[in-house]
Structure 1
Amino acid sequence: KLKDGEQEKLVNLQRKADIQLDRMLTMASTWSRVLLSLQGKLKGTQWDPENSHRIDYSEFRRLLDSNHVHFMEYSNYGQTVSGKL
């Protein structure tokens, strides 16, 4: 049986390993998405939506209130908003 100090070190090490694994998975996922986007394989998906037309704020608000929006992305400090219904 492990002593309390050893058990605490083991738990701390496992926590650090879990955090590192999560970071690596996030980074791999991001790179994968970037590469697929550069290859044009994500066109029209939520990760690389096609440009549409400009809409008035009232229309935008109506769409949000309809609860049919599946994905929303803000870019350029909120200047550009894209979504998927």
Structure 2
Amino acid sequence: MAMKDTISNKLQEAFTPESLQVVDESHLHEGHAGHRSGGETHFRVYIVSAAFKGKSRVDRHRMINSALAAELAGSVHALAINAQAPGEG
């Protein structure tokens, strides 16, 4: 399974989001630290979930990082996160 799909599935399972977009930005980082041939190293996540209501930005990022701990410890080098509760933004 592609890493993008793995990330999407784990976030769907953990947060039941109203909206979720996972973008593979690895091609933008060719030649940079952490880039590997074949990509799937740099991702951007846009997620809207009620699970984030009342949580700080730092807490939201911690929640997502925890859900993706195995991926972040493995082949994912960078993860940019935009996490909101419904009605924000």
TM-score by length of 1: 0.21
Of structures 1 and 2, the one scoring higher in RCO (CA 8 A, sep 6+) is: 2
More helix by share: 1
More strand by share: 2
Structure number with bigger Rg: 1
